[in-house]
Amino acid sequence: MKWGEKMSKNAINNIDLEIKKLKEKKKELIAKREREIGAYLLKVWNIEDKTNEAIFKLIDEHKPNNNNIKSINDKNNHNKSINNIKNGDKNEQNRQAGFKNQTSGREEKSSK
């Protein structure tokens, strides 16, 4: 095996090791997030003393449907756009201005 081949193999092995470490880190962060959210839910809903079965039933009863989630996402995107404009985001202002110009042009053409 030549020196360049050995170096390439070592580099590949190092990348594989780094990927493995990153996957473990991701797994740990997801688990931490789930613990934190679960603890918050138990505290806010004041259900810390309930059984797991009762808690799962309560969560299932209040589970949002896809339409509710889409509505929340749409509102968040709308609010983000408004906040960007208020905060002086020039790209967003330009995008909004371009949209208004496009629609007003259509109105002018349609009124003729």
pLDDT digits (tens, 9 = 90+) for 43-87: 999 999 999 999 999 989 988 776 666 666 676 676 666 666 666
Compute the mean pLDDT over every residue in the chain, rounded to the nearest whole number.
78
Structure tokens at 35: 């613990």
Domain boundaries, the chain: 1-63, 69-112
Say whether pLDDT at 42 is over 60.
yes
For residues 92 and 84, the answer to whether their CB atoms sit within 8 Å is: yes
Q: In the structure encoding, which two tokens stand for residue 89, read together? A: 């985001």
The per-residue pLDDT for 107 is 47
pLDDT for 21 equals 98
Pseudo-torsion of CA 49, 52, 55, 61, nearest 10°?
-160
User: How confident is the model at residue 112, as a pLDDT?
Assistant: 44
For residue 31, pLDDT over 80 is answered with yes
Token representation of residue 52 = 């797991």
Angle at 101 between CA 96 and CA 102, to 5 degrees: 95
Section 32-49 average pLDDT: 95
Name the residue type at position 88: G
Of the listed ranges 4-13, 14-23, 46-55, 76-85, the one predicted with least confidence: 76-85
Mean pLDDT, range 97-101, rounded to an integer: 58
Distance separating alpha carbons of residues 1 and 96, to the nearest angstrom: 60
